[in-house]
């Protein structure tokens, strides 16, 4: 595929999922359901979410030369993602260990594997992919130096940057300054703001996050939707009411949909209104990529 509008740079994992009656406390063992294996990883999830909606999407990632890596490549190609940027080898494919509770909430432990071998050199060698994109979407399940190299390359190409700081980590000022938007949930916002987040509303978080340098901010609020903020303005975008069965990958569905709609020229608020519908639909189904809707599912 050529002429993609969205390039996702990030992680690709095999999700090993079990359902539990309750999440264990420290030192405790609980029994789970039979183990399911699904394609996942924040980068791979975002690419599939956008492609299933109709986006022309490419993925820059790294997987192992193993069964999990083949699963991931097959799932990307089945969704219509350009996988010419997926590097193979260097380490086993990353794995996410996911426990899903009865209300659809989850806990996740990630073994990064090949994701931590995605390098700035890989980004440099994918210059044509990046230059062709209207938007590049990133997360933090790959090395921080690779994220920084990707953002700087995007800025040089005048490509819009969407960044989800998950799992949360400190970000260099020039990386923050390129984010348009910075997309993060409540936990990630609290991490970046530290003690200054205590007792403040999401709107106040967004204002404080903008002060850190990003051009715009989207705070995702789960069943409450999202808050969209630019300097001097903020808007709450409600989510449609649904019965959640599994929230795994919902944030990635939101971000992938948001990034795609931005690549088409939507305003940030318009893109967020579309993205909350995508995320809400995804939580009504089990799994991450397997839960992502097509455009027809939203009509």
Catalytic positions: 252
In whole angstroms, give the CA distance from residue 61 to residue 84.
10
Residue 34 and residue 16 in contact, taking contact as beta carbons nearer than 8 Å: no
**Residues annotated as binding site for ATP?**
185, 220-225, 251-252
Angle, helices 42-53 vs 250-263, to 10°: value is: 50
- Binding site for K(+): what residues are annotated? 246, 248, 282, 285, 287, 291
51 vs 119: CA distance, rounded Å: 25
DSSP lists the bridge partners of residue 161 as 136, 179
Name the maximum alpha-carbon separation found in the chain.
51
Rounded Cα gap, residues 264 and 233, in angstroms: 22
Give the annotated binding-site residues for substrate: 13-15, 41-45, 141, 252
Closest CA to 279 of 232, 235, 223, 237: 223
What tokens were used for 264?
């088409």
Collapsing DSSP states into helix, strand and coil, what is residue 44?
helix
E strands, the chain, are: 6-9, 13-19, 36-40, 57-63, 82-88, 94-100, 106-111, 135-138, 160-163, 179-185, 217-220, 226-230, 233-237
CA distances in angstroms from 230 to 73, 102, 107, 209, 293, listed in the order given: 37, 37, 31, 10, 29
């Amino acid at each position: 595929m050529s002429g993609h509008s969205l390039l996702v740079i990030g992680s690709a994992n095999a999700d090993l999922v079990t359902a539990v009656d309750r999440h264990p406390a420290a030192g405790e063992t609980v029994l789970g359901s039979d183990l399911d294996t699904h394609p996942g990883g924040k980068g791979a999830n975002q690419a599939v979410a956008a492609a299933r909606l109709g986006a022309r999407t490419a993925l820059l990632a790294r997987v192992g030369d193993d069964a999990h890596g083949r699963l991931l490549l097959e799932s990307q190609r089945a969704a219509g993602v350009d996988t010419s940027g997926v590097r193979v080898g260097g380490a086993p494919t990353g794995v996410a260990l996911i426990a899903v509770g009865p209300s659809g909430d989850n806990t996740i432990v990630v073994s990064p594997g090949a994701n931590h071998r995605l390098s700035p050199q890989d980004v440099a060698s994918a210059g044509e992919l990046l230059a062709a994109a209207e938007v590049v979407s990133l997360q933090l399940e790959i090395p921080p130096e690779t994220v920084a190299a990707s953002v700087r390359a995007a800025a040089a190409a005048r490509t819009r940057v969407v960044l989800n700081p998950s799992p949360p980590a400190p970000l260099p000022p020039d990386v923050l300054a390129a984010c348009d938007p910075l997309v993060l949930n409540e936990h990630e916002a609290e991490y970046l703001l530290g003690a200054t987040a205590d007792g403040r509303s999401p709107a106040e978080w967004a204002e404080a996050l903008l002060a850190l340098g990003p051009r715009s901010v989207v705070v995702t609020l789960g069943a409450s939707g999202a808050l969209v903020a630019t300097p001097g303005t903020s808007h709450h975008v409600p989510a449609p009411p649904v019965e959640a069965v599994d929230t795994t990958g919902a944030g990635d569905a939101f971000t992938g949909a948001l990034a795609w709609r931005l690549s088409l020229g939507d305003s940030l608020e318009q893109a967020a209104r579309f993205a909350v519908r995508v995320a809400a639909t995804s939580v009504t189904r089990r799994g991450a990529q397997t839960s992502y809707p097509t455009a027809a599912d939203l009509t």
